[in-house]
Amino acid sequence: MGGDHTIAFPLLKAVNKINKGPVALVHFDAHLDTWDTYFGAPFTHGTPFRRAREENLFLDDASMHVGIRGPLYSRDDIKNDESFGFKIIHCDEFQNQGTDKIAERIRNRVGNNPLYLSIDIDVLDPAFAPGTGTPEIAGMTTREMVNVLRGLSGLNLISADVVEVSPAYDHAEVTSLAAATIVYELTNLFAKKKL
């Protein structure tokens, strides 16, 4: 909880060791986080899922990004991302499809596979989460996030993270409240997991 998204890479390594193999990865974020380098560095909050792909830590037929809307740094970003097996649910699709359809698409993609959820708080619109280092307008609402998470009830969730919360950038603590509520919803998902 909290911290830089770089942590997802070693967490996925640990989960793979316990799970004895790759897992489905559902990544909520404004950005892809699959760049080879970010400002010349190979291990940053913009590269964890490229590093994870290089070590085959997630299932390429059961993984996806949700809420993407941030800038691309290269014409190859989407092409590279697709080659890693990711499907993308763009943030604009929430307006047209609603949270039930988005949750259904995630459920269909993940299936019965063990699931790792990675949630960058910047997937939320800055109106709901200003306390993050890379805010992007036109993001998810907290209501959309909570409803999508509730729609994942019963999936084989084995681990999760909530990252990129930076309280110093938020004078009203709404980002911390959003993150804490997301953690609460994740706890409920663990409790409702089918055994």
- pTM here is 0.96
Domain boundaries, the chain: 5-191
Kindly report the three-state secondary structure assignment for every residue of 135-168.
CCCCCECHHHHHHHHHCCCCCCEEEEEEECCCHH
We find that the CATH architecture of domain 5-191 is 3-Layer(aba) Sandwich (3.40)
Q: Measure Cα distances from 91 to 6, 67, 135 in Å.
A: 22, 4, 14
Residue range 40-97, pLDDT digits in tens:
899 989 999 999 999 999 999 999 999 999 888 888 999 999 999 999 999 999 999 9
For residue 119, the surrounding DSSP H or E stretch is strand 115-120
Residue range 85-124, pLDDT digits in tens:
999 999 999 999 999 999 999 999 999 999 999 999 999 9
